[in-house]
Amino acid sequence: MKQMAEEKRLRFPIWAFVLSGVLVGIPLSVFGLYLYIKAVEERRWADMRSYCEQVAREVLARDSKRAVLRGEAVPGNAWEDYEPAIQSIQYKNVSVASEYLSRHPKADRANAQTAVEQCATSLRALHRGASRAESRRRADWQSPGNGSSPSPNFLAIMAACRARLLAEDGHTRDAVQVLLDAAQFGVDAGWNGDLMDGYMSTGILHTTQEEMKWLLSGRTLGREECLELVRALEHLDQSFPREADAYAVEPMSTGCNYLRQGSLRAIMDATGMSDPISPTWRYGFSERLVIVDAFEQNRAWSRGSQEAAGKPWKEARQEYFDQLDLRTALRNPLLEKFYKIQQTLASSPPSPPRNPFRERLAQLRMLRAAATFRFSGEAPVFDDPYGDKIRSSMTEKHLKLWSVGGDGVDDGGSGEWDAGKGKDIVLEVER
């Protein structure tokens, strides 16, 4: 009996030890897992920061000097003139100018003239900036701007309206020079920028090129003015914003924004989204791991888009559709939110896909050919960003130029200047 009692006393501490080990081990394991997740989180967050800082240093170290489209470059940074010019533009004047440029039924020339006069200081600053020897803009990834600031394209709209009024009064040379100032501004807007800067740049160039088209379509310009335009458009072609360059900078810009916001809630608030995001077990319930994963996926997409931008359109277009397929299978909750917003804003992806870089470049080359035709009577053949070469045909009254456009199919010049309204992208000028 005494021996059995001793054995019971011995067995009890063993079970107690096992139970206490389990009770202590679970929280220790959980705590260890927490420490591991935090270590991974800190390491990947630091890697994202290191990448962004490295690319930012490379971008900031780039030479800010660039050739100007016309005249001699003068010392100074163009953005010291552009920025105050943009800030002083009032939307009411932009609205009046836009109506006049689009020939809206309510458009009034006297009102347009008044709107342009009220922007005279801004337009003089635009001219000074376009003449500067350097272009270095403080980008949003360096210092986020005020979302309510005027759009840079407002300045281009006012310049286009002034050019229209000058041309109507017979001052076509002055009109051309105003448009070239605006085109220089458009190039500068995308200089060393990210994808949004590239879109802003192509938007400004769209406004400018629309007005150049209007001048070239008729017989408004004289021979000397066409020669000046030919030379400037050649320089513009050489310095045209490159899609691949924008995609190279894009991940850094996105990463800087994530680092600055620091949390999912802050990122959502900055984009106007109210739905909360809760990190799941896939990310160790870590907000930062969700953010870093979103950054890394964006970086991979940008790398693929950068490579596609340098390929013929047929291959680049397939890359676009491949990326759409990838985005429909998103597992990252932040990117999934962004994609759903994009799908809501655009009920269905355009088919063929729109590419503002290639559209503007195709239109630019048609303008070059048209200006050369006005000057020399011959239409040179330029590369088509969507295919082989810019096509042309001639009748007794018109020269027709066209790009095959986003579908990559030559429809024989059936289409319009606006790439979204027809098959080919078409420019017609009087002979």
pLDDT in tens, 30-63: 556 556 777 888 999 999 999 999 999 999 999 9
Q: Are residues 234 and 250 in the same domain?
A: no
CA pair distance 26, 136, nearest whole angstrom:
57
Answer yes or no: is 180 within a domain.
Answer: yes
Q: Is residue 29 part of a domain?
A: no
| Angstrom distance (rounded) from CA 103 to CA 46 | 54
Two tokens at 141? Answer: 């990834």
- The predicted pLDDT at position 38 comes to 79
For the stretch 145-158, pLDDT in tens is 555 578 899 999 99
Phi, psi (deg, nearest 5) at residue 7: -65, -40
Domain annotation covers residue 48: no
In a domain, residue 268? The reply is yes
pLDDT at position 184 over 90: yes
Question: How far apart, in whole angstroms, are the C-alpha atoms of residue 261 and residue 147?
Answer: 15
Q: How far is CA 217 from the centre of its chain?
A: 29
d(CA 222, CA 206): 23
Q: 329 forms bridges with which residues in the sheet? A: none
How confident is the prediction for the chain on average, in pLDDT? 86
Query: pLDDT category, 222, cuts 50, 70, 90?
Result: confident
Stronger pLDDT, 337 or 366, i.e. the higher one: 366
Domain count within the chain:
3
Strand partners, 415: 424
Amino acid in the structure at residue 349 = P
Structure tokens at 394: 């001639």
Structure tokens at 195: 């994808």
Q: Does one domain contain both 202 and 174? A: yes
Cα distance between the two ends of the chain: 123
**Do residue 97 and residue 233 come from a single domain?**
yes
Identify the residue with better confidence: 230 or 275.
230
Among the candidates 181, 207, 240, a domain finishes at 240
Low-confidence winner among 283-287, 333-337, 347-351 (lowest mean pLDDT): 347-351
Do residues 250 and 236 both lie within one domain?
no
Backbone angles phi, psi at 277, to 5 degrees: -120, 125
- 173 and 286 in a common domain: no
For residue 17, what are the contacts with CB-CB under 8 A and spacing of at least 6? none
The region, left, alpha or beta by phi > 0 then psi within -120 to 50, assigned to residue 284 is left
- Cβ neighbors of 100 (< 8 A, separation 6 or more) are 107, 108, 109, 111, 112, 161, 164
SS3 64: coil
pLDDT value of position 271: 77
The winner for highest mean pLDDT among 146-150, 342-346, 373-377 is 373-377
d(CA 291, CA 266): 11
Identity at 176, one-letter amino acid code: V
Helix (H) or strand (E) holding 394: strand 391-394
Q: What is the mean pLDDT of residues 326-342?
A: 73
Which range marks the domain in which residue 257 is found?
Answer: 246-345
Q: Are residues 222 and 250 in the same domain?
A: no
Select, from the ranges 5-19, 109-123, 299-313, the one with the highest average predicted confidence (pLDDT).
109-123
CA distance 123 to 128: 9
Range scoring the smallest mean pLDDT among 71-75, 122-126, 203-207: 71-75
User: Same domain for 86 and 222?
Assistant: yes
Task: Indicate whether 87 and 205 sit together in one domain.
Answer: yes
Q: Which of residues 290, 316, 345 is at a domain's end? A: 345
Residue with the larger pLDDT of the pair 223 and 144: 223
Residues 273 and 209 in one domain: no
Q: What is the pLDDT of residues 89-147, one digit of tens each?
A: 999 999 999 999 999 998 999 999 999 999 999 999 999 999 999 999 887 776 665 55
- List % helix, strand, coil for the chain (3-state, nearest 5): 65, 5, 30
For range 275-297, the mean pLDDT = 82
Indicate the pLDDT class of residue 3, thresholds 50, 70 and 90: low
Share of the chain above pLDDT 70, in %: 85
Helix axes 120-130, 79-87, angle to 10 degrees: 160
Determine the Cα–Cα distance for residues 336 and 330; give it in Å rounded to an integer: 6
CB 88 within 8 A of CB 45: no
Domain end position, chosen among 240, 264, 291: 240
pLDDT of residue 327: 64
Tell me the average pLDDT across 65-88.
Answer: 93
pLDDT tens digit sequence for 75-84: 999 999 999 9
* Mean pLDDT (whole number) for 255-264: 90
pLDDT value at residue 275: 75
Least confident interval from 158-172, 191-205, 409-423: 409-423
User: What whole-number percentage of the chain has pLDDT above 90?
Assistant: 56
143 and 183 both lie in a single domain: yes
